[in-house]
A and B are shown apart, each in its own frame.
Chain A
């Protein structure tokens, strides 16, 4: 019995001790106080904690969790601002730029933020799983967050076992090496090579293969795909062995304070149409201050965002000293040097002549940041929304989403501040007074043959580009515009305009328009053999055209119709015999036609090469930033409604601050809806100098009857070309009284006179007071003098 008790006690103690060993807190490197940056000549570890042998051909990519995490608290870092967006208890903070889920084909641009900012959607509300989120936005994620979750929701589309986790890429911010390449990161994320992305971006080796092309049964442990060496090549890394020493260590060039270029990869903003030479950098940058000087953080990686009430949100007064006010004026309620301001040599603003009420109502950025307010808002492109800064063969930059600045509206602290603004565009189903977005795949399916108008025309033009004696290129002429197919199999607008009123396909040569088929007399008994060959070739080409509708290609002129017979030779027939003319319904083709007309024939029914709506869409949208027309939206809404088996569901398209639905007659109806309201986030840079501050020269910069600050128009815009857009003036968005600000603005017309009059009055009062004061003094002196005489 004693033995059993002893053994049991021993086992319990042993178990506790072993548990104690496992649970012993890991000791991480802490800052010793030295201001030097330790040389990071270190061995790399893979995700299994194994040391990497760079010469080994089947080496795994390095893992930051295992390599950097050996000395730095990875788990603590992973709760920092850049990574904790998906956590339930994550700090909400002041709204920042949301992610914008953009789909060009379906005209979707949805602002997404895991922190639940106003007028944004949370990923889970849209059915965006961690996998989809990382696939969509991983290009600008620094890793971690949803890319590094332990247990995500069930997602049949996820391929984590192939891609690996997208761990925090410490070097994306902390590398001081010129070979740190963000574009490489983007490329690897696009290829689903998540676990390889950091290694490739750091330039430690060359990463090849694509996890996205591997069968889902593949796992990294299997190594190369021996069955396919051409297409489905398994991801691999070939380390640059020159970078490693005999102990398999490599020098990681570290910057403890991230360099600006790394921040700017994701946080660049540029006005549309501006050249690089036109940009003035922020005054802080000019004076040698880096992003991380103000936007600093500790080991917890909670980066100071720099807004005024951040200290309240985070419950940490020291954060306030990184705000504009904290740095330049000192922190209210703080003690010592923090209360004084002037941090990093920040000059104390004088604000001479500026009534203090402005400090209660405006943020510092209102006068000092962003573009100067004008009648027209500035359209900007941002790195995260418009995919700026990704270099390579492919063009990543997108025209949409449409973002404007500066919109002067009240922030959450009640102060007016300049904001960037974008309007959501999405297809959704109406549930009560809410609109729930539908996934773009569903919309693309419903909009098959509706959305891709430019491609339909491009396919026809490409098919008709058979080479001919004129050596020109087929182009579409419509609405006095000329369109030609481009290398991306899309359509481009030719800059040269034409006076031609007709719509049709012509040959463009050196800017001159030549008929596709030379003019001929259809009534003539014999046709020119060259023309006959030309027509035959074109009909054959059309017959092989991509996306050819059900029917045969035909050409008609006058009362004749030309088509191919069974032997692929041209046969001529009478138009009236071959076509039921009553069924021809087109705004662009009238049969019988005086000039050559092309189309498709099926069961005596003639239809033009491209439907009318396609031509209208091409004319309206190609060469603009619009994607489709109201007519197409109406068609898609009808398609969605017809696809609803219950017949009870209502669908809408949200765009340009409005909601578009179908009315009883099946026509497009416009209304307002909360789902169409814009997402806005404050801007802080570029900061202008004090001399260029709003109101620095005159109060009428804002206080006049037409000042854009109060009366500028904020016009919504989206992918659809429509006149029904939300237009609001700044005072409406600010919740201000327009008539008061007009009257107040008018008062500045007479302000100089006002000052002169009351100055005169004050002088008069002062003179009288002085006079009587002197008289009083006179009496006093007389009194005192008379007393002496007595």
Chain B
């Protein structure tokens, strides 16, 4: 991971903007930002961002690579798409935030114990295993993602919620030993592996 980070940082030594344009989903839009700040004012989690999107965009242009990639900010995106709907320049901001988060993760730059990063990875592993989400296992992994002790505490605190979901048949205990699945899991896994290879190759090409 850090090898890739070193390689990329050296390859794009003179321009972090170029690195973002080449490797981050929708990154080619970053230079279009005109710093109006409508995204910051429209974000439901706005007050929790160390650097709102327009600041991240300017930091990218200013070459503040370390500060951007190791920021918690893009992990605060709730995917509400308000910034996209309102951006006067039409930047796909939500997607750029997802792209920055994904790229930071690939380079091993995510701050330790970042809760949304942890949960998002658990989610991805959960849904790709059998092709469909297992909500019970997702909930349990979420409770225990910060260790056993915290997990038991969280599970106890949310006991009533869990029971409510089971009572209303909106959560099924049967998901624990089986659960929903697609038929062609092997095809799905091969497909995702190929997609991953193609995507990795694009970053490696640039090395």
Asked whether A and B interact, the reply is no
Contact surface of B with A, Cβ cutoff 8 Å? none
